[in-house]
Amino acid sequence: MQQRTIGDRTVSAIGLGGMPMSIEGRPDEARSIATIHAALEAGVTLVDTADAYHLDPTDVGHNELLIAKALRLAGSAADDVLVATKGGHRRPGDGSWYVQGDPAYLRKACEASLQRLDVEAIGLYQFHRPDPAVPYEESVGAIRDLLDEGKIVMAGVSNADPEQIRLAQEVLGGRLVSVQNQFSPAFRSSEAELDLCAELGIAFLPWSPLGGISRAGELGDRHAAFAEVAAERGVSPYQVVLAWELAKAPVVIPIPGASRPESIQDSARAADLELGAEELARLDAA
Ligand SMILES: NC(=O)c1ccc[n+]([C@@H]2O[C@H](COP(=O)([O-])OP(=O)(O)OC[C@H]3O[C@@H](n4cnc5c(N)ncnc54)[C@H](OP(=O)(O)O)[C@@H]3O)[C@@H](O)[C@H]2O)c1
């Protein structure tokens, strides 16, 4: 598997997104663990999660607990895995999401994630989403304090615009290692953040890289050019999408979600699919 970097860590160029294994429509635990183990077998060493990947408030951290369990069961095969979690998003239990980004809450959330992941320090902790009620520098300041105290090893942000990325970099004293924003053939408006990350040497993790859980299945129908290149290459349209994202810049590390082993096995193969300039131009124009 092709490798890329987040801060000083080397990780697989394709990560695994954990959300589909913990929100509405999630599979049973055995299938989720098989999916995570299939990712490890395919060479995936980055797993993205969040405390908010759960159904209702009695279930907070479902995805973190699941990933911790799967990694424990995998033994030494999980030694090189970087688990990236997030804090600052919450779910009341009716299917909706809301934000909470005050420093006291973020500290409490991080401490709870530490316990669930059963680690001394979280490998990568990301501020999930800006809270309009809290100045951005205060939220990111809480992440800086966690970094200074050694509770987290690396710090990232998510759903940030270019101005917020620059501010986070300043507040963290140059230690911002990743930005996780939505990016896919259907959602290209975060290209400005992707370009800024490439310029600053910060990892850019596209979320919903295949268009999101409910739309991924229609990917080939909605984006004909990706399906055409896939047919020509004899690979799935999912692989073409992920390879197109990887080709955007060396800092890009997509985190496709999966709730079936077959999905992540197929997605992982995108790391070895090199698209030519003519193919990339067709996909950019599509
Ligand atoms: N930071 C944020 O605000 C934010 C927001 C949303 C998501 N995320 C993160 O980003 C990750 C990815 O986003 P997402 O899960 O929303 O959407 P996605 O990756 O665009 O799509 C996920 C769906 O695609 C299907 N899939 C994946 N690879 C496939 C393949 N090779 N062939 C066929 N189907 C495939 C999976 O189906 P099966 O379920 O059948 O395997 C899965 O349900 C999440 O898991 C989460 O970690 C972050």
Is 212 close to ligand 1, i.e. is its CB under 6 Å away? yes
Q: How far apart are CA 237 and CA 17, in angstroms?
A: 18
Reference 243, options 271, 203, 268, 284; nearest CA is 271
pLDDT(116) > 90: yes
Is 243 close to ligand 1, i.e. is its CB under 6 Å away? no
Centroid of ligand 1 to alpha carbon of 246 (angstroms): 16
What pLDDT sits at residue 222?
81
Edge-first strand order for the sheet with 82-87 is 16-17, 46-48, 82-87, 122-127, 152-158, 176-182, 203-207
Mutating to test ligand 1, I would choose from 14, 16, 19, 26 the residue with most ligand atoms within 8 A of its C-beta, which is 19
Centroid of ligand 1 to alpha carbon of 208 (angstroms): 5
pLDDT(45) > 90: yes
Centroid of ligand 1 to alpha carbon of 169 (angstroms): 28
pLDDT(86) > 80: yes
What pLDDT sits at residue 217?
79
Structure tokens at 117: 């992941």
**pLDDT average, residue stretch 68-84:** 97
What pLDDT sits at residue 223?
85
What pLDDT sits at residue 253?
98
pLDDT tens by residue, 18-27: 999 999 999 9
- Atom 39 in ligand 1: which residue has the minimum CA distance? 259
Mutating to test ligand 1, I would choose from 98, 213, 238, 253 the residue with most ligand atoms within 8 A of its C-beta, which is 213
Centroid of ligand 1 to alpha carbon of 263 (angstroms): 9
pLDDT(188) > 80: yes
What pLDDT sits at residue 30?
98
pLDDT tens by residue, 149-183: 999 999 999 999 999 999 999 999 999 999 999 99
Q: How far apart are CA 234 and CA 232, in angstroms?
A: 6
Please report which confidence band the pLDDT of residue 101 belongs to, taking 50, 70 and 90 as the band edges: very high
Is 207 close to ligand 1, i.e. is its CB under 6 Å away? yes
What is the signed CA dihedral for 135, 120, 16, 189, rounded to 10 degrees?
10
- Residues with Cβ < 8 Å from 149, sequence gap 6 or more? none
Is 15 close to ligand 1, i.e. is its CB under 6 Å away? no
Structure tokens at 242: 């992920």
What pLDDT sits at residue 220?
75
Q: Is the pTM of this model over 0.85?
A: yes
Centroid of ligand 1 to alpha carbon of 45 (angstroms): 17
Please report which confidence band the pLDDT of residue 203 belongs to, taking 50, 70 and 90 as the band edges: very high
pLDDT(249) > 80: yes
Q: Catalytic residue at 238?
A: no
Mutating to test ligand 1, I would choose from 263, 265, 272 the residue with most ligand atoms within 8 A of its C-beta, which is 263
Query: How would you write the chain as a 3-class SS string?
Result: CCEEEECCEEEECCCEECHHHCCCCCCCHHHHHHHHHHHHHCCCCEEECCCCCCCCHHHCCHHHHHHHHHHHHHHHHHCCCEEEEEECEECCCCCCCEECCCHHHHHHHHHHHHHHHCCCCEEEEEECCCCCCCCHHHHHHHHHHHHHCCCEEEEEEECCCHHHHHHHHHHCCCCEEEEEEECECCECCCHHHHHHHHHHCCEEEEECCCCCCCCHHHHHHHCHHHHHHHHHHCCCHHHHHHHHHHCCCCCECCCCECCCHHHHHHHHHHHHCCCCHHHHHHHHHC
